[in-house]
Amino acid sequence: MTISKQRLTVELKAEASALGFELSGVCPAVAPDALSDFARWIDAGYGGQMHYLHDRSEAYGHPRSILNGVRSLLLLGRSYLTDDAEPVTVGSGRISRYAWGRDYHEQIHKDLKKLSGFLQAKVPTATVRGVVDTAPLLEREFARLAGLGWIGKNTLLINRQAGSWFFLAALLTDLELDYDGAQETDHCGTCTACLDACPTDAFIEPYVLDSRRCISYLTIELREAVPDSLREGIGDWVFGCDVCQDVCPWNQRVDATPEQVFYPRPGSNPLPLVELFDLDEKQFRTRFRQTPLWRARRRGLLRNAALVLGNQPTSGASVALVKGLNDPELLVRGASAWALGNYPATAARDPLRCRLDMEEEEEIRVEISRALERLGG
């Protein structure tokens, strides 16, 4: 007996809910309306060093680049809202809320595989593929088409009940499902809280983000030194940033998720920074390999840690920064030199001069010289 697309869709959504996806909606596989906006955004250079976006720009044109013959997409949302953010103590840094727990990719991929199996058990001839934020798919636009929410002024998908504290995933299939209506209403209204609160003025205008100024980009995606003009704006964010979500009115009354896998690991809310400078590559891998922080790699995370310690000078951190000043990685040495330039001269001047005498890389010599100038010689 053939199951109707309406019943199949209802049962598929029910199974998704049982697996822990609080949001679900279905839309047809079409060329996304936002494709031209995305192309203009890429051409304007707002993607920074995220070259994979440009390299795969044609693939974003239609979901068939992910699954040949695709007809429908089931868009899914899973909350990661857990504990409240703890106060940042001296010598620690904030991590974006989504990265407090284990790497979400592993859990969501596991559940997408179960959901794919459920669908294929119902329709054995079906072709199915599940993806979560690594495939060339404009997830937020398709989620809007599936009725999950609207794209806010901070460029994030916002749902009236779930706010924006959720991961997006998609299940693609060559079956025709029962489609939901698109979210046409923008409920941001006249609110500009997210735009006004951004520490680095990353929003060119409402709905347009210049990633090159975004703290999340600077601390995760950028593989070189953070521009000098943006270092103070990073504040105490060592990995990612939640400012534009923290101030959003739609995020003020969202229920916490029961999923323990997303709850903070010890030392992640916030993250102690001084001890990071004692980790070699192997130790770093052991500690962070199964977490989102692995994406920044050791050199990126220590660069960020040095900048945060430079933004909140504390006597106990100068020794760690001197270690960073002599680290094998250029990124770490440069950021540590800048940070030491914000410390008392009695603690920083001699280590900087000593490193300058042996430093061979010109860009690091420049960082050290500028730090010494700020210290008065």
Q: Which residues of 306-329 are buried (b: 16+ CB within 10 A; e: fewer)?
A: bbbbbbbbeeebbebbbbbbebeb
Q: Which residue has the tokens 């899973």?
A: 78
Closest alpha carbon to 231 in 337, 320, 327: 337
**3-state DSSP of the chain:** CCCCHHHHHHHHHHHHHHCCCCEEEEEECCCCCCHHHHHHHHHCCCCCCCHHHHHCCCHHHCHHHCCCCCCEEEEEEEECCCCCCCCCCCCEEEECHHHCCCCHHHHHHHHHHHHHHHHHHHCCCCCEEEECCCCCCCHHHHHHHCCCCEECCCCCEEECCCECCEEEEEEEECCCCCCCCCCCCCCCCCCCHHHHHCCCCCEEECCEECHHHCHHHHHHHCCCCCCHHHHHHHCCEEECCCHHHHCCHHHCCCCCCCCHHHCCCCCCCCEECHHHHHCCHHHHHHHHCCCHHHHHHHHHHHHHHHHHHHHCCCHHHHHHHHHHHCCCCHHHHHHHHHHHCCCCHHHHHHHHHHHHHHCCCHHHHHHHHHHHHHHCC
- Indicate which residue of 55, 83, 133, 201 is catalytic: 133
55 catalytic? Reply is: no
Q: Enumerate the active-site residues.
A: 133
